[in-house]
Structure 1
C-alpha cells in the first residue's frame, strides 16, 4: 500500500470520525438530564434567553446555547438540550486532538515507512488511544456532560493548536498566512467563551520559533517565550481593553461635550476604527508591505471574533431578568471585562488561600467590606 496523501487522508478521516463517534456516544449517554447545582444553572438560564451572566461573560457560548435550546421539546427539556452543547463540544475536542496527534506523528521517521494495513492501523490506532485516553479522563468527562464553559473552551484550545500545526506545514508558502488569520479569528472567538483560549499563544510561538530557526539556543528559546507572552498580554490587557476604553471615552465626549444623542459616540468610534483598518490595509497593499498587511488582517480577525461581545450591551439594554452588572454601555462593558466586581487578584504576592482573617466585627463578620 503506497503511503500517499490520499491514503493518509482517508485513514485520518475514518479513524478521526470514529473516535468522535465514540466520544459522542459516551458523553451523550451520560449527559446531565437537568441543571447542575453550580454555575451550570446560570449558564443554562442566560443561554436559553440570551441574558447577561456573571463577568466576564460568555456571549458566544450563550448564543450557541440558545441554538441548542431551540431543539427542546418543552421548557423542561431546555437544560438537557443546552447540556448537549457541551457533549458535542467535547466530542469535537477529541476529534481535533486525534488530528493533532496524527500531525505530530507524521514528523516521526516511522511515517515514511508505512506500507501495509497493519502499519496504518498501528499508526492511527496510537493516535486514537491517545485521544480516547483524554476522552475518558475524569475532569474532562465531568465537564463534557453539563453546561460549563470549560467544554467549549477546551474545544477552542484543541482547534487552535491543530490550526497551529496546519500553519506550520504551510508557514513559508504563499497561502500559509490563511492559517494565521484563522488562528486570529478563533482567538477572538475565545473571548466569547473563556479567556483560557489565549494560553495557546505561547505554544504557537514555539511552533513558529522551531520552524524558522534551525539553530536552537537557550537564549533564543527564552526570547521566543517572552515575545509570545508579550503578544498574549498585548491582546488580553492592551488591545481589547483599550478599544473598549476608546469607545467609552468617545461616548462621554460626544454626548456630554458635543451634545449629541446617546450612543452617537459609540457609532463614531466604530466608524473611526473601521476607517483605520481600511486605510491601513490599502496602504500596506499599495506599498507591498506583506508583513504589515498580514498583521493588520490578524488584528482585524481578532476583532471579528471578539464581536460576539456586542451581544452583552444589546441584551443589557433590553433589561433581561438576569442582568448582572448591567453593562449597557462601553464604560460599563470595560468594567465587566476587567472583572472589577471581584477582589484584586495578586499573582506573585498577597494573601495565601489558607489565610484566616482576624479583627472582623463579632456581630456582623460578613458585611460587604474588606477585612478590618
Structure 2
C-alpha cells in the first residue's frame, strides 16, 4: 500500500507539471517551455522540502544514542553481565562494543533472543575480553522446541534451592513431566496435547538463591562498608503461570555464577520477570541496575524507583556520563532524544535526594546544575520530571536557582493553559486530560514553593495560578486555591 501511494503521488506530480506547461503554453509556443518547466520543478520541489524540513531531520552532531550506550557499559563493573530487553537498549551497546571496542569485557545478553538455541550457544563462547556466560545446561536441554516454557503446577509450598529447582525443571525423568503430575492428581489427560504432557513443570513457586558472602565481598559485588547489610539468601516467588526459556536461562546464570561476576539489568522494562523476580535486590549504578544481596523493598507509592543507591559510586558515574551534545542548542533533539531525558532526570533526581539525605549539599547542587546544563528546560520538555529539582535547589539553599527553574517551568504550563483556553469547548473536551494534568502539575509546583518561600512570593504565585485556573472553572480567585484537602477536586467543563 505504501508503494502504491508513491505511484499515485508521482502521477499527481506529473499532472501538476503538465498543468503548469499547459498554462504557460497559452502565452508562448516555444519548444523550450517543456524542458524548462521540468527542470524548474525538479529543482523547486526538493528545494522546498529541504528548506522546510532540513532542520527537523538534521542529525549532524547529535550523539545522544552513542553517549547513552557508553553510559550503560561504563555503569558496569569489570567482567560484568548485563541483561538487556530489546532493540533500543541492545543495538547501541553492540555498536559501541563491536565498532568502537568500548568495554568489550561486558557481556551483553539480549533476553529477547535468549529464547533461541543458537543465541544461547553464542553466549556460551568467549567474545573479545568477555568470558562465556556461566551455565550448566547443555544444548539438548534448551534446543529448539525444548522447554520453550515450563508450566507452573504448584504441588508444594516448600522453597527449593535454585540448583534443585533447575535440576527438576530440566530433568528427563518421567516423574518430572506435566503428564505425570496430572495423572497423580487424577486428571483425565486424554484431551491434552502430547507436547504439554511431555513437558517439564515447576512444582513450586518459591525458589531460594544462596548468597556466598565471601564471593560477594571478594569480587566487589558489595563493598566492605555495606557487609553488614548482606543477606544470607534471596527468596524469590515466581508469580507467572509459566517460566519461559529466557527466564530459565537467566536463572541458570544466577545459579552457576555464585556471585563471581557482577550482574546487571538495563532497566528497559518493569515486569517482575524481567528481573527474574528480584526487584527488591537491585542497586542503581549509573544507568544499570546491579543485582546485590541487599534487600531494598520497592515503595508501593513509587514502583518505578527500583533499587538502592550507593551515593559515592553513583556520584562518580554521573559526573563521568557522556552527553552526546545534548546541551548544545544548535543541535536538533528529536522526540526519542527528548524522551530519553526522562531516564536521565529520574536517575539524577534519585541521586540528588540521596545526597541531600546524607547532607552532601554541595554535591547535590553540583549534580542538579549538571542536569540543567545538559538538559535545558526549553529543549527537552517533560516538565513533570523537573519538579524534584526545584525542591532540591531549595533544600541546598540555592533559592535563586530554585526560583528561576520554578518560573521557567510554570511559564510552560501557563503558555499551554492559555492556548487551550482559547480553543472551542469541543476541542477543550478532546484535550481535557492534558488540561487537567497541566493544572494539577502547576498546582503541585505552587505547593512546593509554599514549603520554602516567604509569604509575599507565595501569595503572588497563588494569585497567578488562580488566574489560569479561572480560565476553565470560573471560580472566585479567593476560593479557587485550597489546601491539600481539596487537591485534585478542581473540575472543568
The TM-score with structure 2 as length reference comes to: 0.23
The structure number with the bigger radius of gyration is 2
**Greater relative contact order structure (CA < 8 Å, 6+ sep):** 1
Structure (1 or 2) with the greater strand fraction: 2
The TM-score with structure 1 as length reference comes to: 0.28
Structure (1 or 2) with the greater helix fraction: 1
